Structure 1
Amino acid sequence: MTDPYLPADAETRAQARALIDAARHAALAVLQPGGMTPSVSRIALATDAQGMPVSLISSLAAHTAALEATPTCALLIGEPGAKGDPLTHPRLTLHCFAQPIARGTPEHDALRARYLDLRPKAGLYADFGDFRFVRFAILDGLLNAGFGKAVRLTGNDLSGERR
């Protein structure tokens, strides 16, 4: 069997970056603690100053315990269009490593300011004691840009640095 993935090029890297930069939410896939059962939930999403995906999550959410037990996870971003088959619209799976950001650090303060600038409604709960920021360090990704347009991307292909 041949590899179904096309090589990444400048156009597909830019398309993947555009999906990351525009994402307001994502499907987060985690492994449940103590087992091999996967779970998926929707989370709010933004990017940090380096272009990496970040979210503000509650310690009360099941996915938070899952990320603490196993920080490897996946994000699915991309919106189906208003018309047509949802599978013809671009989407991006990111394989990530979740990195919690400690409160009271300069990194947290900078991320809080950026996140609230991008997602102002999060100001309603950003300072609640059970919420914290998580950065998703991208390991690699899979871009599905439509029929016959699947591309495997490296972490470097998806870095926030503009090429």
Structure 2
Amino acid sequence: MSNVVTNTALRPARELLLKEYRGVLSTHSKSMPGFPFGSVVPYCLDAEGQPLILISRIAQHTHNLQKDPKCSLLVGEREALDVQAVGRLTVMAEAHKLTDGGAIEAAAARYYRYFPDAANYHKAHDFDFWRLQPVRHRYIGGFGAIHWLDQVTMANPFAGAAEASMVEHMNSDHAAAIAHYVALSDLPDTPAAELAGIDSEGLHLRIGQAIYWLPFPKTCNTPTQVREALVLLARAAKWPTVDETQG
């Protein structure tokens, strides 16, 4: 496989990981050695662009990961009529439970913006954050578009205080702009959308329990570039074409 072909698959593979927010976590069964164990988990991406999950200590997949951290996360395009004709990504990874207080706090701040209800059961029950550190990826973009990819994830330059500030500002002061993004993208208009996250390539909106990722027309590397992109989108008559030569 040529490097050119591989590189053209990197962005759609990463976008699929950004667009979706739940997948099938496969672990090595502790109670049935030799058999894979599949379970459905919601996820968001952490500061390094790696899948972040919140799982119960009594769950079977947690017991499996404690015995063997090797796992995979299968992500496919939601509501696909033909699952074999659309994109899907398998992230082969090693799972690591977060134990550092600062890392847990940062993970919780981001995860709760995506899944607000999680805050309640995280506090009331024995749940822990785990990071899925990718080792390799298998991306299928459709019939015949099959790629092994070593590095798909991209660190989020805004993760932390900068992202939290931008998200809070947009939700507090620019509800009309967010509603415009929803209209441009033909997304559900009820309940009202809220901004959940920002990365260099786009933004996440939360509408009810669902998460939607919308791409920026160009990669943003600074808060100023993000602000310019958000203003441009708030005034746009249609969602701008993404520059696919990037990334």
Shorter-chain TM-score tier? 0.7 to 0.9
So what's the TM-score if we normalise by structure 1? 0.87
> Deviations 1:111-148 (Å, cap 9, x if unpaired)?
10011112222222122341000000000000010000
Unaligned regions of 5+ residues in structure 1, if any? none
Whether 1:33 and 2:30 are equivalent positions in the alignment is: yes
Query: Shift in Å at residue 58 of structure 1?
Result: 0.3
**Structure 2 CA distance for aligned equivalents of residues 105 and 98 of structure 1:** 18
**Structure 2 CA distance for aligned equivalents of residues 92 and 143 of structure 1:** 5
Query: Shift in Å at residue 82 of structure 1?
Result: 4.5
Q: Give 1 or 2 for the bigger CA radius of gyration.
A: 2
Aligned AA (2:9): T
Aligned AA (1:8): T
Whether 1:118 and 2:123 are equivalent positions in the alignment is: no
**Structure 2 CA distance for aligned equivalents of residues 44 and 80 of structure 1:** 13
1:92 match: 89
Runs of 4+ in 1 over 4 A off after TM superposition: none
> Deviations 1:84-107 (Å, cap 9, x if unpaired)?
x221110000100000012x6101
1:108 match: 104
So what's the TM-score if we normalise by structure 2? 0.59
Higher strand share: 1
1:11-160 matched pairs, under 5 angstroms: 11-33=8-30, 35-83=33-81, 85-102=82-99, 105-154=101-150, 157-160=151-154
Unaligned regions of 5+ residues in structure 2, if any? 156-199, 201-246
More relative contact order, 1 or 2 (CA 8 Å, 6+ apart): 1
Aligned AA (1:137): Q
Name the CA shift for 1:80/1:119 in 2 (closer, same or farther; >3 Å). closer
**Structure 2 CA distance for aligned equivalents of residues 54 and 82 of structure 1:** 24
Contact preservation (8 Å) 1:80, 1:87:
no
Query: Shift in Å at residue 62 of structure 1?
Result: 0.3
Contact preservation (8 Å) 2:92, 2:137:
yes
Name the CA shift for 1:123/1:38 in 2 (closer, same or farther; >3 Å). same
State the number of aligned residues.
154
Contact preservation (8 Å) 2:54, 2:130:
yes
Higher helix share: 2
Query: Shift in Å at residue 33 of structure 1?
Result: 1.4
**Structure 2 CA distance for aligned equivalents of residues 99 and 136 of structure 1:** 7
